A and B are shown apart, each in its own frame.
Chain A
Amino acid sequence: MNNLLKNITKNIPAVSLGVLLLAAGPLSSQTSDPNSAATTTNQKPAKVKAVHATQPRDGQQVFAQNCERCHNAPQGFSPSISGTVVKHMRVRANLSKEDEQALMRFFNP
């Protein structure tokens, strides 16, 4: 078991590179398209009514306070990765589940 773990940890960089290479395989012609993005800096989506009963967070506010604290907003990205972006930000910005959901509603009103 220890050897297995040792081998796995030893090959983490190689594994990550493999994931990158393999993940790039099925790349379609789809690329980041600001026009079809979920949101842009200048095109804030309309706020949506929250579905939570207890004081739902404003997704735009969550975005401004947590994401933009460190970096500018991307000029746009595909709606298909909005959930992935939000999960990534949940880890990086230590967001709660509620903030994650608010951010998701902001990206996909």
Chain B
Amino acid sequence: MSYLTPLRNIRLSHRSAIALLSMGALCLASALVAQDVPLISGAGSFTTNTTGGNTSYQPALTPVLVAPVGQHLLFESRAYIVDSINPQPHTGYDTQFHVGVAYAQADYFLNSHVTLVGGFSLIPFGTYNERLSPIWINPLQDAPLIYGIGNPGSGSGTGGQIRGNIVSNENYSITYATYFSAGSTDFQINSSRSTGGQVELYLPKARLEIGTSYGRLLEHDKMNAIGTHVWWEPANIPLKLRSEYAHGPHSQGYWVETDYRLSQFHGENSAIGRLEPIFRIQQTFRNSPDNNDELPAQNTQRVDFGLDYHLPHEVRMNTSYARQFSSSGNVNIWETALIYRFLFPTWKGKK
């Protein structure tokens, strides 16, 4: 499973084009009067994947638009533009072009502790979907094997969220996110009818985070998913330890990942300090067959060894090797990525 999983093809109809222009102009007009300048962020990337000897190439552009309107309203969206290139014996290359939207939502800051979200949003279950799915953030290319638990379908929901911060001080903070998603079979905003949420406790002095997630699928089959995660980042060393466990109706699993930026060796801008080794181990357990949860059909173990190099000017090179073990066969997975992260204003502001 790759970060491209949520992709959906887009066909712009005449009606869509009119709506696109009119609502785009409306949003632009609103943004023009905003105090803060809208930004465009994201990444351009070129990735390769060789799984069991089969290689594919994926040039991609992942733009993010964030446009505030006044002090309480924010529009934001992340899109994918990807071309999947698969070499075929004797016939050249098979290519598939995808344009998709990961989220397109409006956020309203009701007060210090409550933010209302409406639109097409990432489902707040676990940590990968909301935090690590952008390729310029995730140190490894692939999503964890248990990603499908609690994140049905595209991993995004069409509906609303209530989220925010219950308390935040020097000793601890508690955050929450709840959501409801209406089912949509539209290929542009594909989502399942579901509800759920998560709550997290963060201890700043220990730099320890513990969270739990719950999701309930409200389709014809009512299914529950639960998850928990523990993240720890020691204060004095650039080490990150991330772990997550999820349990679905037909499968369960966990992943543990650690990465260590070698910035303690002559600084993070030194030749060695730009290196970041990563290690991840994960296991999934199949209780009963399920074609929809996107987990492996058999019990699976996998280890990933990654080595990222942070080049100047927001360029990063990822490399990784993974070995996956299951009763259906063991496989080697080699991956590389060249990623350029960008962040700039849409126009010159007054500040």
Contacts and interface: CB of A to CB of B under 8 A. Distances in A.
Interface of A: 7-24, 26-28, 30-32, 34, 41-42, 55, 57, 61, 65, 69-72, 74-75, 77-85, 87-88, 90-99, 108
Interface in B163-180: 163-165, 168-170, 175-177
A9 B268 CA distance: 44
Interface residues of B, number: 87
Contacts of A19: 23-24, 27-28, 65, 67, 75, 77
A70 B137 contact: yes
Contacts of B184: 9
Nearest to A80: B349
Contacts of A78: 37, 344-345, 349
Contacts of B76: 88, 91
Contacts of B99: 13, 17
Given A19-B65, A21-B24, A97-B111, A84 B79 contact: no
Contacts of B120: 9, 12-13
A20 B291 CA distance: 36
A28 B269 CA distance: 30
Contact of B25 (A12, A22, A77, A87): A22
Nearest to B268: A41
B143 to A, nearest CB: 15
A20 to B, nearest CB: 5
Given A81-B37, A91-B74, A97-B109, 10 more contacts: A15-B20, A16-B79, A17-B20, A20-B40, A24-B346, A28-B347, A55-B170, A80-B345, A88-B76, A98-B112
A97 to B, nearest CB: 4
B237 interface: no
A21 to B, nearest CB: 7
A81 to B, nearest CB: 4
B10 A75 contact: no
6 contacts: A12-B188, A15-B27, A22-B24, A23-B31, A24-B40, A90-B115
Contacts of B168: 57, 95-96, 98-99
B186 interface: yes
A16 B104 contact: yes
Interface string B109-136: 1011101010110000000001110101
Nearest to B349: A80
A65 B207 contact: yes
B107 A81 contact: no
A92 B130 contact: yes
Contact of B74 (A26, A31, A80, A87): A87
B20 A14 contact: yes
Given A7-B19, A32-B342, A69-B233, A13 B66 contact: no
Interface string B1-21: 000000000101001110111
Given A81-B37, A83-B68, A23 B101 contact: no
Given A65-B202, A81-B36, A87-B66, A27 B158 contact: no
A16 to B, nearest CB: 4
Given A11-B16, A20-B40, A84-B36, A70 B132 contact: yes
Contacts of B79: 13, 16-17, 20
Contact of B66 (A26, A79, A88): A88
